[in-house]
Amino acid sequence: MKAIILVFVIILSSDLVATQAEIRSEIEEANAELSEIYGFSVRYSLTILKGEGHEQPAAIDDNGIYQIFLYTSSYKPGVSRHELAHVYFFEYLRSRDLNPDEIPLWYHEVIAEGFQNLHTGTNRLILRIAFFDFTEFEKRYPVKEDQSIFYGAVASFADYILERHSYGRLLEVVDEFSIKREMDAAFLNVFGSTVRSMILKWRIVFLLPYSPFVVGVVLFLYLLIGRRDKYWRKFPLDLKSLEEDEETRNRKI
For the chain, domain boundaries:
1-76, 96-222
C-alpha distance from residue 36 to each of 39, 49, 83, 168, 171 (Å): 5, 29, 17, 11, 14
* pLDDT tens digits, one per residue of 154-180: 999 999 999 999 999 999 999 999 998
Residue 181 backbone zone (phi > 0: left; psi -120 to 50: alpha; other: beta) = left
Partnered with residue 47 across adjacent β-strands are: 69
**Would you place residue 19 in the very low, low, confident or very high pLDDT band (cuts 50, 70, 90)?**
confident
* pLDDT tens digits, one per residue of 189-219: 999 999 999 999 999 998 887 666 555 545 5
Please calculate the CA angle 109-133-75 and round it to the nearest 5 degrees: 35
pTM of the entire predicted model: 0.77
State the DSSP H helix or E strand holding residue 46, giving kind and residue range, or none if neither: strand 44-49
In one letter, which amino acid is 181?
Answer: R
Q: How far apart are CA 119 and CA 215, in angstroms?
A: 33
Residue 51 backbone zone (phi > 0: left; psi -120 to 50: alpha; other: beta) = left
